[in-house]
Amino acid sequence: MHTTTSQAPIDYRDLARGDRVHGSLYTNPEIFAEEMSRIFYRTWIFVGHTSEIAAPNDYVRKSIGTQDVIMTRDRDGDIHVLLNRCAHRGSIVCNEPRGNSSAFRCPYHGWTFRNTGDLIGYPFRQGYGESGPELNLASLPRVASHQGFVFASMATDGPTLAEHLGPAAEEFDRLASLSPEGEISLSCGWIGHRLNANWKLLFENDADGYHPQFAHRSVIAATNTHIGDLYSDRSPVTAHDLGHGHSLREMRPVYRDSPPLSWAGASEERLPDYATQMRAALGDRADVALTDGPPNLMVFPNLAIMDIHISVFQPLAPDLSVQHVTAVQWNGAPDLNRRELQQTVASVGPAGMFLADDAEMHERVQQGLAMREPEWVDVSRGLLRERTDEHGHAVGSVTDETGIRAFWHEYLRLMTAEEVA
Ligand code: FES
Ligand code: FE
């Protein structure tokens, strides 16, 4: 058995190998703590969407790793991500899940901070001398967005968001291109599913095209969907490592063989307003958009864009996570949005059929990983038949573990990198 002690540094190269990863990576509290500092408190983390704070002074509470943060829009429209910890003696400052306010007043001793993080008032000023305390809410040094998806990094330097996303950025563009207005909103609210499982199991599962035929067998049989065909060894769907831990399931070969809007489980006849608006807005390009549909994209380390819904993975402890889900809403497409919201609720909502299956698997795997033997988790599927694309990235079949290995490559890079910001 591998043992890890606080004296010996953890050898991540030994634990995360190309074809297998060690079970302790999902259970060891010391590894979990290092993941927070080396991954969640360093690289770009998806926080929220600009549509969630559309008006000046809107705010919404979010998380980065185990840290509670407030995403705010100041009166000038600039977006800030603040740690939700009073600079005086540490109380949580903002207790509401969302709202509109130019300032946050700490309930403990009444210090007040602007939504930029700056301290603007504190009671009984005489206690602090002439200049007063210069203590603000901690503000993340780097905040950037792409297609309204807001990411933040606790590191003061490092790759830009564009460098981090690389070719994944185009997939966000493809998602937005399905709106007649060229924009999406995440305006339906989020459901949080609390799972007794490590956060990496949640990410790996959404990158896994091997399980649907089996874990979701009853849903596929009951709903007569085409999903079973997509996730089979005969499927033309491919799995692409996009670099930096991101991966794509490329569904377009199937949708290009099908009528427009097949990806939505619909047709032009069933969504006539949407089809008309898209043709008016995009002209000749509408056909491509309506046929190709949205991406099936994993964004390291905490975001999944699963065609019509979004998942965000929040780590709480080695064996405890929250999966936050919401439906994508395409601006200017009410008939499409109604349909896709219903689909999202049915698949990953409170009684969502797909999420219920996956949650059961996550918790069973977490229980299994607590056992001593065998020590390893196998992630080798497809390794021998993968090819390499023109960017040097691996391409596998849809049931291959290509996207999971993409995750582990970036994981290992970050966990073994020299400097920690
Ligand atoms: Fe916030 Fe004292 S802890 S004002
Ligand atoms: Fe699933």
pLDDT per residue as tens digits for the range 308-329: 999 999 999 999 999 999 999 9
Give the CA angle between residues 151, 157, 159 to the nearest 5°.
65
The per-residue pLDDT for range 130-162, each reduced to its tens digit, is 888 889 999 999 999 999 999 999 999 999 999
Pocket test for ligand 1, best of 93, 108, 119 (most atoms within 8 A of CB): 108
pLDDT digits (tens, 9 = 90+) for 237-272: 999 999 999 999 999 999 999 999 999 989 999 999
- Rounded CA-CA distance 217/220 in Å is 5
**Residues near 313 by beta carbon (within 8 Å), at least 6 away in sequence:** 199, 202, 203, 301, 302, 303, 304, 321, 322, 323, 324
Residues at Cβ < 5 Å from ligand 2 ion: 358
Tokens of 385: 């038949």
Confidence of residue 26 (pLDDT cuts 50, 70, 90): very high
Nearest-atom index, ligand 1, CA of 90: 3
- Would the pLDDT of 5 be above 70? no
Handedness of CA 285, 291, 292, 294 (dihedral sign): positive
E strand segments, 154-210: 184-185, 191-195
The 10 Å CB-count burial string (b at 16+, else e) for 246-275 is: bbbbebbebbeeeebbbbbebeeeebeebb
Q: Are 145 and 176 in contact (CB under 8 A)?
A: no
Q: Give the bridge partners for 377, in sequence order.
A: 21
Are 64 and 36 in contact by the 8 Å Cβ rule? The answer is no
Alpha carbon of residue 297 to chain centroid: 9
Residue recorded with tokens 């924009």: 183
Task: Supply the residue whose CA is at minimum distance from atom 3 of ligand 1.
Answer: 89
Question: Hey, is 338 helix, strand or coil?
Answer: helix
Q: Give me ligand 1 centre to Cα 323, in Å.
A: 31
285 lines ligand 1 (CB under 6 A): no
* Å from CA of 160 to ligand 2 middle: 32
The confidence band for 227, taking pLDDT boundaries of 50, 70 and 90, is confident
